[in-house]
Amino acid sequence: MNIFDLDTPALLIDLDRVEVNIAEMAEKARVAGVRLRPHTKTHKMVEIARMQIEAGADGITCAKLGEAEVWVENGFDDILIAYPLVGEAKLARLQALRERARIITSLDSVEVARGLGALGVASGKPVEVYVEVDTGHHRMGRPVGEPTVALVQELAAIEGITILGLLSHAGHAYSAVTLEDRDQVVASAIEDMRSTQERCAELGIVFDEISVGSTPGARAEMKRAGVTEVRPGTYVFNDTAMIYLGVASAETCAAHILTTVVARPTDERFVIDAGTKCFTSDGMGRPGWIQVVGRPDLTMSFITEEHGVGAIDLSQGGSLSIGDKLLLIPPHACPVVNLFDMAYGHRQGEVTQELLVASRGRVR
């Protein structure tokens, strides 16, 4: 079946493009000599995680324990849950997973380390952890330098955990204006992590790993000395945010929403059958926030829950009728995928398989 014969709205995955995106990142990591542990929050699909491993990824990353459960169930055996696990219920589930696979987790507090340490002692197998640091995103982590060194000293005294190294997510690189600025942001973040690592070593706490992530920064991050692992996620599909940041183009985007024009209230206005429940509100108002493939005369103006409202630039001479189908590039692929139960995988417009969004909604 051709993709334009599908009912809408539908999530489409261009598998040829996914393969190219996966191969490009895997090759760059191989040449740089760093491990690639892609973040699976972007696709949440077993088939695509397998493609990443087959292309050379050393393991996978996820954010939530519930996602890790899906991955272990499907045979993945080296998983980083890049999230602090808090509470007895989660620790019991973590232990069940650790009996079947290698599970690493991250933390930035003594409290979380104590819970994990108790598990490590009780099970006779220490829990492998990354210490998350704040290199400027101000989400998780103590600041790099002395605050982190002090934390690592406290963690080193806790029985039942093994500190693998430092982990950061330079999410603030998303707001760097130019590519040079972004490279500068990631370079100084990594320098800060390395000097923190060296200071810990001087105090006798030696660890090897520096794990960094994000699609905008990964290609520059992996070339920096000291980095041992990169965790990009969005690169697999890309989206208009990545186009805006200059690390993707419409051609390298692999996830699309197929929609139908359901109304033409005025000559200049059209309405499609997809709103925030397909696109989320992420990025609304950013120039080119949702792009219509192959139709530079069409721009999306705003969306509500079930309606997407767009404008036609009549000076470009295009036409558009009720019933026409449009292919759109979403603003942020990761939460968009999480809104769909399944996607249609296609090659050159021919649907080749249905893809279950296996770990969608696994927020617990």
Ligand X SMILES: Cc1ncc(COP(=O)(O)O)c(C=O)c1O
* Residue among 233 and 310 whose Cβ is closer to ligand X: 233
The least CB distance from residue 156 to ligand X, in Å, is: 23
The least CB distance from residue 232 to ligand X, in Å, is: 4
| Closest-approach residue to ligand X (CB) | 213
* Residue among 179 and 206 whose Cβ is closer to ligand X: 179
* Residue among 212 and 278 whose Cβ is closer to ligand X: 212
The least CB distance from residue 10 to ligand X, in Å, is: 23
* Residue among 82 and 133 whose Cβ is closer to ligand X: 82
User: Cα dist. 123→94, 130, 198, 337 in Å?
Assistant: 11, 19, 31, 36
The least CB distance from residue 40 to ligand X, in Å, is: 10
CA 316 distance to own-chain centroid: 36
The least CB distance from residue 214 to ligand X, in Å, is: 4
Q: Which of 48, 38, 51 is nearest to 11 (CA)?
A: 48
* Residue among 83 and 270 whose Cβ is closer to ligand X: 83
Neighbour count for residue 87 (Cβ, 10 Å): 10
Neighbour count for residue 167 (Cβ, 10 Å): 27
Cα torsion angle, 169, 174, 179, 180, sign = negative
The least CB distance from residue 349 to ligand X, in Å, is: 27
Neighbour count for residue 307 (Cβ, 10 Å): 15
* Residue among 8 and 184 whose Cβ is closer to ligand X: 184
* Residue among 161 and 186 whose Cβ is closer to ligand X: 186
* Residue among 67 and 273 whose Cβ is closer to ligand X: 67
The least CB distance from residue 267 to ligand X, in Å, is: 39
The C-alpha atoms of residue 74 and residue 48 are separated, in whole angstroms, by 12
Which residues of this chain interact with ligand X, rule CB under 6 A?
39, 61, 82, 169, 213-215, 231-234
The C-alpha atoms of residue 49 and residue 155 are separated, in whole angstroms, by 32
H-assigned helices in 157-281: 179-202, 215-221, 240-244, 276-279
Q: Are 46 and 60 in contact (CB under 8 A)?
A: no
The least CB distance from residue 209 to ligand X, in Å, is: 14
H-assigned helices in the chain: 15-32, 46-54, 65-73, 88-98, 110-123, 146-156, 179-202, 215-221, 240-244, 276-279, 333-337
Q: Are 355 and 48 in contact (CB under 8 A)?
A: yes
* Residue among 193 and 271 whose Cβ is closer to ligand X: 193
The least CB distance from residue 139 to ligand X, in Å, is: 8
Distant-in-sequence, close-in-space partners of 173: CB < 8 Å, separation ≥ 6: 182, 185, 186, 189, 214, 216, 217
* DSSP letters for 304-352: -SS-EEEEE-GGGT----TT-EEEEE-S-HHHHHTT-SEEEEEETTEEE
If residue 299 lies in a helix (H) or strand (E), which one and from where to where?
strand 298-303
